[in-house]
Amino acid sequence: RKKARESCSLPESSWEERLANVVTPLWRLSYQEQLQVKYESQRKILQTLTSRLEELGIDAQKPGGLCCPLQVVVPSPIINGYRNKSTFSVNRGPDGNPKTVGLYVGTGRARNIVCVKANNMENIPSKHKQVAQCYEEFICRSPLDSCILFHEGGHWRELVVRTTSCGHTMAIITFHPQELGQEALATQKALLKEFFMCGPGAVCALTSLYFQESTMTRCSHEQAPYQLLHGAPHIFEELLSLKFRISPDAFFQVNTAGAEVLYQAVGELCQATGDTVLLDICCGIGTIGLSLAHRVSKVIGVEVVEKAIEDAKWNAAFNGISNCEFHSGKAEAVLPQLLALWEDARPLVAVVNPSRAGLHYRVVRAIRNCRSIRRLLYISCKPEGEAMRNFLELCCPPDPRKKLAGEPFAPVLAIPFDLFPHTVHCELVLLFTR
């Protein structure tokens, strides 16, 4: 937000430059310079973790002043146009057009939001920009208003575009129904389908066109079902010689080529043997577990998004992988039940890849209290956020008040992966053992 306000105060720069400064603040640097910036930021995060562990009475500082060695940032194989998923907003543009499709400059709190077209964004592929431009053309033709503030009415809302290396393109359009009846809604869906199948939008060659009627900021499929207007219900991606089916709201790493590098490293860090059981927490459509299934005796995946679990089971069957089981539900409800009575003598390795909100406390407690888990890989795109709380919960001394009876973990290695070139973000893999 601070960057957004600062960039808005540069009158000499174009709106495109302001947007690039907000969304991809490292875009002016060479890629080697970007990697160095990210290394320094990850080092500061580890310094914070080291200090917090020291506050808990843990002698965490190792040679180099950190709680564990920090490797150099692993570069992304693709630097430009790497995103396989982009979310575009609808709002007023710099010219006042309330039906501009793009990305935000400014903040809601400051009431200075401007929606700027993403045509010059280096991290977004041309196909995503093409679909966004066509969607803008469609809603500009529509007599219905865009929905900028829910209570002020309007209908047309954000657009999500997903693409794969297989050449598939999925578009998901969010629409606020307001007071429209079913007949009027059916008319809008028919017009949208006609535009993208037979009209100017046909140039996008969409594999899937979805429509979601949503009265909330973000809705899951269970809250507001994704309605398939045209094409296939799924798109497909290939990763590490496996084929993956992707539903509209399923999580998939935003940088496919970078994800391959990440998952290969995770496989090495697991040090799995033929009798290892891999616990894949927040497994999404099963990418990590399935890519490592050939190394282990069994994979157990847990994921809250039901459709993603359906994808994971399909992906396992399609790829001929039979040693995986996937559980749908919140990890804090499923995992304690799975681990409470764990008596399997095989070594158990956990890989967790939660959202920015981190792991629920009950998940951390279940991991801590399961003696069979001696090795844990935590993958985080925001380790300075809620994940930091998880790190401390994993490493703190046993605490009966918090029901943390298990032996504490210790961080032994940190490896950042650049899955987000031009931005300040990294995917940090922290290896914990006990």
Same domain, 317 and 418: yes
13-43 pLDDT tens trace: 799 999 999 999 999 999 999 999 999 999 9
79-90 pLDDT tens trace: 999 999 999 999
pLDDT number for residue 220: 67
Calpha distance 257→255 (Å, rounded): 6
User: In this model, does residue 227 exceed pLDDT 80?
Assistant: yes
pLDDT number for residue 272: 87
Q: Provide the number of structural domains found in the chain.
A: 2
Same domain, 342 and 426: yes
User: In this model, does residue 119 exceed pLDDT 90?
Assistant: yes
The share of the chain scoring above pLDDT 90, in percent, equals 81
* 8 Å CB contact between 206 and 196: yes
Residue 253, burial from CB neighbour count under 10 angstroms (0-12, 13-18, 19+): buried
> Residue 345 domain-assigned?
yes
CATH of the domain at 310: 3.40.50.150
> Residue 181 domain-assigned?
yes
pLDDT number for residue 4: 43
Give how far the C-alpha of residue 77 lies from the chain's centroid of Cα atoms, to the nearest Å: 18
Of residues 100 and 111, more confidence is placed in: 100
Confirm whether residue 97 is marked as ligand binding: no
Same domain, 300 and 230: no
* 8 Å CB contact between 329 and 302: yes
> Residue 38 domain-assigned?
no
Calpha distance 254→252 (Å, rounded): 6
H or E element in which residue 188 lies: helix 182-197
Same domain, 277 and 155: no
Strands 427-433, 348-352: pairing is: unpaired
Token pair listed for 8: 């808005």
> Residue 76 domain-assigned?
no
Same domain, 221 and 305: no
265-290 pLDDT tens trace: 999 999 988 899 999 999 999 999 99
Q: What is the CA radius of gyration of the chain?
A: 23
With cut-offs at 50, 70 and 90, classify the pLDDT of residue 221. Answer: low
Same domain, 213 and 334: no
User: In this model, does residue 343 exceed pLDDT 90?
Assistant: no
pLDDT number for residue 90: 96
What's the whole-number mean pLDDT along residues 306-330?
A: 94
Inter-CA distances, 177 with 115, 139, 239, 295, 355, Å: 22, 15, 38, 49, 29
Confirm whether residue 47 is marked as ligand binding: no
What's the whole-number mean pLDDT along residues 404-430?
A: 96
The total number of residues shown for the chain amounts to 434
Same domain, 179 and 219: yes
Domain ends where: 182, 205, 234? 234
Q: Which of 8, 282, 381, 396 is an active site residue?
A: 381
* 8 Å CB contact between 94 and 15: yes
pTM for this prediction: 0.91
The share of the chain scoring above pLDDT 70, in percent, equals 96
What's the whole-number mean pLDDT along residues 114-143?
A: 97
Domain ends where: 234, 266, 297? 234
Confirm whether residue 303 is marked as ligand binding: yes
Same domain, 181 and 227: yes
Give how far the C-alpha of residue 133 lies from the chain's centroid of Cα atoms, to the nearest Å: 24
What DSSP assignment string belongs to 151-178?
GG---EEEEEEEE-TTS-EEEEEEE--T
Range of the domain at 141: 85-234
Same domain, 219 and 101: yes
| Residue 68 appears among annotated catalytic residues | no
Token pair listed for 393: 């919960």
Calpha distance 231→234 (Å, rounded): 9
The residue type of 63 is P
Same domain, 224 and 305: no
Token pair listed for 136: 């803008």
Of residues 11 and 263, more confidence is placed in: 263
* 8 Å CB contact between 123 and 158: no
Same domain, 221 and 271: no
CATH of the domain at 209: 2.40.50.1070
> Residue 240 domain-assigned?
no
